[in-house]
Structures are given as C-alpha cells and as structure tokens.
Structure 1
Amino acid sequence: MIKTEICDLLGIKYPIIQGGMAWVSDANLAAGVSEAGGLGIIAAGNAPAEWVEKEIIKAKQLTDKVFGVNIMLLSPYVDDVVDVVVKHRVGVITTGAGSPGKYMDKFKSIGAKVIPVVASVALAKRMEVTGADAVIAEGTESGGHIGELTTMALVPQVVDAVDIPVIAAGGIADGRGFVAALALGAKGVQMGTRFVASKECTIAESYKEAIVKAKDRDTVVTGRATGHPVRILKNKLAREFLKLENSGATKEELEKFGEGRLRLAAREGDVKNGSVMAGQIAGLINDIKPVKDIIEDIVKEAETIIKNLSQLVGV
C-alpha cells in the first residue's frame, strides 16, 4: 500500500485529498472521500457560516473519519467561518486566496492541521514561515481559480524550497498522475475534477456529464483581465465572457457578468450559461462512479506502475 507522511500527518489511509470546490464540495462528497480512505473537504467558498456549520454537522453524522474544510480567505464571512471551524474542532483546514496567518493561533489551539494552497515558490515559503503543516502546490492545469506555473514545473520547485510536505494538485486523475506527483517529490495529491464526476457529488448531473464528454482542449481560461483567472469548460458563457473581456470591459463589468454563474451550472444544471469549472484532465475522465472505486482504482494502478518501474530498474 502506498503510504507517505501525509497519511500519518492527517490520519488517513491514502495520501489523496479531495479539492475544496465552491458549490460542489459539500458534506456528502467530503464524507464519501473520507470513508473511502482519502481526505474529504467541505468548501466554504463565499457561503455564510451557518451553511458551513450545517455541512460540518452533517459530515460528522455521515463519517467518523477525519475530514477538512477549505476556507476562502477573501470571503466576506471568513471570520465567522473560522469561528465555526474552531467551534467544531475540524481536524484539517485548507486555505486559498491569501494567508491564514491571522487565524493560525486559533487553528492551532484545536490541533488542526493547516494546509494552504499555493501557486508559487514564494508563497509556499511564506506559508511555511506562517506555520503551515504542509502546502498544496496547485498547477495551472487545475479547474477554477489558477496560477501560471504548470504542475510539472511548480511541484519540484516547491519541494526543493520548503521543509514541510508538499501535496501536488492540477492535472491528476489516475494512477499515472499519482505516481508522477510522487516522483516529483510530492507526498500526496489533491484532485478536484475527478471527484466531481462521482456518485457522491450532489451537483447537477448535466455538470458531471459535461466533464465526461470533455476532450483534451475543451477548457479555456477566462478572467485574466480581472487578475483572478478561472479555468472552465468551453460553452456559451465562456465565449461571451471572452468577447466581453477582449472588448476592454472593466473589472467591475466582468465580475458582474460572471456573478452567480458557478451556482447556475453546479446547482441549477445550466451548463451553457453557467460556469462549468473543470481542469484540463477532464479529457481523461470517462465515467461517473463511486469515490471508493475512484480511489481504489487510482491506488491499484499506481502500485502496478511502481512495481513495473522497480522491475525495470532491477530493484
């Protein structure tokens, strides 16, 4: 069995983390992943603290395994969300869109493991100094908000720059990607898009089907002009957004145009006019199956690859 220090750090069977995706990562998905041996994550996104608390309580009813909460630090409700997470003594906290330094003492007071998502070496170093237990190095292949460096380039540079464990994210959906991440020096992987196409994910079936139907070049990056680029599947919204962006629209106009579009796709099922966030790996995903099968298939494939590589080098 593949076991790394991430397993011991987080108290999980496999070093596989489910990404925190707004409007997607709820208690059902998080509990399913944790039950299957990975680390499930509830995404707070821009949701109010009341919603986050309800999902935490529900997750605890669905599983006795450890799970985490992803906190978006730019959320208008971030202070209240932090208080809820501390109140319920959530074991793992991942963060995005900023530094969790302001809240680190609160997190540490309940013994939580804090793992920020980073897209650069500089940010990874800063998070280590801040007291992070590990970092998630997320490449531009990811769905949703992205950085510029690819996973292949980013992960080994972050591994070399910090002394805390690094988890690789972006463009990983099978055993091959898992083994590649380990070869780059990562101690685990985070996957988002692969877990969207799962039975436990409660979003609209049309969203999942859009991922299954996607080909290798079916994602596009929108919003670069706003300073917050987002990778989504090509659709009517993407075409209209890029047209507006290329016409010189202001940041405010672009943000207003994109407001509510993720919910429209994920919860209402409008995959033409909504924002279908997905990574470039969507072209490799051909089915919708239980998270237990997803994780076990990935681990089994990875173990086979490692065994074959060992034979190849005569180990």
Structure 2
Amino acid sequence: MTLVSKRIKKVIVMMESKWSCEPPALKIGDLVARVPIVQGGMGVGISLAGLASAVARAGGIGVISAALVGIYEGEAYFFKNPTEANIQGIKRQIALAKKKAPGGIIGVNIMVALTDFEPLCRAACEAGADILFCGAGLPLNLPELRPEGANTKLVPIVSSPRAAQLVAKRWWSKYQYVPDAVVVEGPKAGGHLGFAPDKIEAEESRLEVLVPQVLEAMKPFEDKAGKPIPVIPAGGIYTGRDIYYYINKLGAAGVQMATRFVATHECDAAPAFKEAFVKATKEDLTIIKSPVGLPGRAIRGTFIKEVEAGKKKPYKCIYHCLKTCDYRKSPYCIAAALINAQRGRLEAGFVFAGANAWRVDKIVSVQELIDELIEEYCQALKEDQEGPRA
C-alpha cells in the first residue's frame, strides 16, 4: 500500500469513526436522517436557508420558518403584496437550502395561525420541501393542501395527546391518511406555547409525561395505516443526554431542538440576537402575553420591560400576518418587533427563547453543536450499558 493510499484510508476511517457510537436514524416515511434531530423552525427569519442547510448537511433535518418570509424579498414588494412576496420567499429559501445541502432533508415550518397558511403550504410542496411542520393551531385540512404528485411529508405539531388524536382522526376519516410523524411540543419551548398560562408549570404538561401519551394515542392509527407514526418531542431538550432519554427511555423516534441552534454561526439572525442568548440569565426568561392571544416565552429585555410599563402604544398594523392577532387592542405589532429583533435592533423588538436559553454560553458552528450532542448521547448510552458502578 502506498503512502498516499494509506493516508486516504486513514481519512476514511476517521470520517467513519467521527462519533464513538451511531445513534438511531430518524425515519419519516422514506426520509432517513442520520442524526435524529429536527432543527425547530424559528421565525421571523431566525431559521432560513442558511441555518436549515447547515443542519441538513450535518445529517439532521433542517427547517425553514415561513413566518413573514416575504419581508426578505424587499419591503416595498412585501407591503404591496405580502402573500405573493411570502410565496416567492418560501420558494426561494427552499431552493437555496436545497442547493447548499444537496441530498439533505429540508423541512418548512408553517403556522396554522398565519393568514396565508394555505397558499404557503401549497407553495412549499411545489418547491420540493421534504416535510411540512404545522402547529400554532390544528392543521385539520393539511392533506388537501398538498398538490397531487407531491411527496412532501405532513407533520402536525401538537401540545397534547388529544390534539394529536384529533388531527389523526380527521385525516384518516376524510383523507385516508395519517400523519407521517407527530411533533409534541412541551411547555419549555420558546415562542408561542400551546398551553393555558396556568398549565405551563403543571405536572401533566411536562414533556416527559406527554410523550408516552402521544405514543399511545397514535397506536390505533398506526394499525389502521399499517405504518409507524414517529413521535418527536420538543421543548426544553438541550443536551445529548436529553436526546438519549427521549429516544432510548421513552421511545421517541428523534427530537426537535431550536434554542441550541440560535447560538450557531449559521443561524440567520443578526449577531446581536445570538448574543442575547449568550448574555441571558435564568431570571431573564419570562412568559409574555402575546398579541396573538397565546402565552410566549421570551428573553426579558428593554422592549418587553417598556411594554410592561405601559410605554408602548397601539399603532397601525403593518400586515395582518396572524389570524388571531387583535392589532386594534395590542400594545405593539408582534411582526415589527420580531423583524427588528432578527435584524439586531433589540431596543425595538424582543427575542423568543426556550426555557434553557440561559445555559447557552458560546456561539459555535452547527457541525460542532451536532458533534457535541451526539458525543453526549454516546456517553449516556455507554454509561447505561455499563450499569451502575460498584
């Protein structure tokens, strides 16, 4: 064997043994993600093609947020025809992500509460999105929004076994179709939460309680369809040990994580947005009353403090982006606040974040983060296999 071929062989071996173990792949229909992690879709503009493609290249499932994606097509165009701009924007982001991550899995998060939910779902499917993740409401008609011939997987995001059951029952009775997977999001998630304010800290709302219940709720539909319905927990999952727990102890197929991916170089937010996570303390995280009628978890900065002090006043809605937003009674425009924050103007906006955001202490690359999480997973696996020491 020549010296060159020896070196090549060594490189191949190093690539194959990058991690000390191989976690189970996340399978959603005919899609197989080597890394069982879905990067949560974060709007506005926090997870676009840049972040999603980086996660897909690393072996996970990258997700683009469709919320107000048209603003990045140019403000003049967006304010003139927001739905058209959003459709153009989501198609461009998907194409860009696919180009940057050939062969990778690219999903799109489209909130049911969006005013243009239906045209965005159709557009994302037409553009070749591998998966649609739909929450912030029950996507009861989602199968009919997928164009004929499209192979896009359909995944509802729910906060309870009852919601999962409602969606699956409607899809099966009306379309003879079951969810390709289900994301169950607990109360430790960032952004809007699917829980009443008094239920956020309740024992029955804990993610580790909800996951087995959703798994049980999906069994009858798995039997009817003759195929598995992977359950993917989300909200507060922070380490590789967390991933190991949900997959190996509770039976989840994979996990969804969002907060960890904000503090990456590839995240599409401005540096100031990412630094807000690095600087945040546990006491900075708070539950706010969002203009859309839901509680939300955010980092309590200058903007939120001013709202709490009554310093913000209602003003003209820039675009009625969410069906449930009563802009006439709101102290601020949530769309404008989130756009400002994404651009780094935190004095004029705020940052949504998960309950563990205070644990973030540095910004790393997506690949570094994935490697760290998988190694933590492998260490947990090793310790479990070896058992307690004498």
Instruction: Say whether the fold is shared (TM-score over 0.5).
Output: yes
Alignment partner of 2:152 out of 112, 118, 121: 112
Q: Please tell me whether the aligned partners of residues 15 and 189 of structure 1 are also in contact (alpha carbons under 8 angstroms).
A: yes
Q: Following the alignment from structure 1 to structure 2, what is the Cα–Cα distance between the partners of residues 280 and 13?
A: 27
Instruction: Quote the residue 1:198 is aligned against.
Output: 264
Deviations 1:240-271 (Å, cap 9, x if unpaired)?
A: 334459xxxx954226453411111112x122
Q: 1:6 and 2:27 equivalent? A: yes
Q: Please tell me whether the aligned partners of residues 109 and 133 of structure 2 are also in contact (alpha carbons under 8 angstroms).
A: yes
* Root mean square deviation, CA, Å: 2.3
Q: 1:288 and 2:363 equivalent? A: yes
Deviation at 1:9, TM superposition (A): 4.8
Q: Please tell me whether the aligned partners of residues 7 and 15 of structure 1 are also in contact (alpha carbons under 8 angstroms).
A: no
- TM-score by length of structure 2 reads 0.74
Q: Please tell me whether the aligned partners of residues 60 and 105 of structure 2 are also in contact (alpha carbons under 8 angstroms).
A: no
> Structure 2 vs 1, CA of residues 8 and 301 (structure 1 numbering), >3 Å: closer, same or farther?
farther
Deviation at 1:88, TM superposition (A): 1.9
Q: Following the alignment from structure 1 to structure 2, what is the Cα–Cα distance between the partners of residues 4 and 59?
A: 21
Q: Indicate the percent of aligned positions where both proteins have the same amino acid.
A: 32
Instruction: Quote the residue 2:108 is aligned against.
Output: 69
Q: 1:82 and 2:104 equivalent? A: no
5+ residue gaps in structure 2? 1-21, 70-85, 172-177, 196-204, 220-228, 312-324
5+ residue gaps in structure 1? none
Residues 161-240 of structure 1 correspond to what in structure 2 (within 5 A)? 161-163=217-219, 164-182=229-247, 183-223=249-289, 227-240=293-306
Deviation at 1:137, TM superposition (A): 0.7
Q: Please tell me whether the aligned partners of residues 235 and 273 of structure 1 are also in contact (alpha carbons under 8 angstroms).
A: no
Q: Following the alignment from structure 2 to structure 1, what is the Cα–Cα distance between the partners of residues 67 and 250?
A: 30
Deviation at 1:138, TM superposition (A): 0.6
The one-letter code of the counterpart of 1:179 is Y
Instruction: Quote the residue 1:142 is aligned against.
Output: 189
Q: Following the alignment from structure 1 to structure 2, what is the Cα–Cα distance between the partners of residues 225 and 78?
A: 18
Deviation at 1:5, TM superposition (A): 4.9
Q: Following the alignment from structure 1 to structure 2, what is the Cα–Cα distance between the partners of residues 85 and 134?
A: 18
> Structure 2 vs 1, CA of residues 156 and 241 (structure 1 numbering), >3 Å: closer, same or farther?
farther
Alignment partner of 1:123 out of 142, 159, 163: 163
Alignment partner of 1:18 out of 36, 39, 51: 39
The one-letter code of the counterpart of 1:88 is A
Moved more, 198-207 or 105-114: 105-114
Alignment partner of 1:98 out of 137, 143, 147: 137
SS of residue paired to 2:140: helix
Q: Please tell me whether the aligned partners of residues 136 and 194 of structure 2 are also in contact (alpha carbons under 8 angstroms).
A: no
Deviation at 1:91, TM superposition (A): 1.3
Q: Following the alignment from structure 1 to structure 2, what is the Cα–Cα distance between the partners of residues 26 and 58?
A: 9
> Structure 2 vs 1, CA of residues 63 and 238 (structure 1 numbering), >3 Å: closer, same or farther?
same
Deviation at 1:103, TM superposition (A): 3.1
Aligned residues: 309
Deviations 1:40-96 (Å, cap 9, x if unpaired)?
A: 011101331111111111112111112111112222222321222222222111111
Q: Please tell me whether the aligned partners of residues 91 and 123 of structure 2 are also in contact (alpha carbons under 8 angstroms).
A: yes
Q: Following the alignment from structure 1 to structure 2, what is the Cα–Cα distance between the partners of residues 27 and 188?
A: 22
> Structure 2 vs 1, CA of residues 45 and 258 (structure 1 numbering), >3 Å: closer, same or farther?
closer
Deviations 1:165-194 (Å, cap 9, x if unpaired)?
A: 210111112112212222233211111110
Instruction: Quote the residue 2:65 is aligned against.
Output: 43
> Structure 2 vs 1, CA of residues 244 and 117 (structure 1 numbering), >3 Å: closer, same or farther?
farther
- TM-score by length of structure 1 reads 0.90
> Structure 2 vs 1, CA of residues 8 and 304 (structure 1 numbering), >3 Å: closer, same or farther?
farther
Larger radius of gyration: 2
Q: Following the alignment from structure 1 to structure 2, what is the Cα–Cα distance between the partners of residues 255 and 6?
A: 44
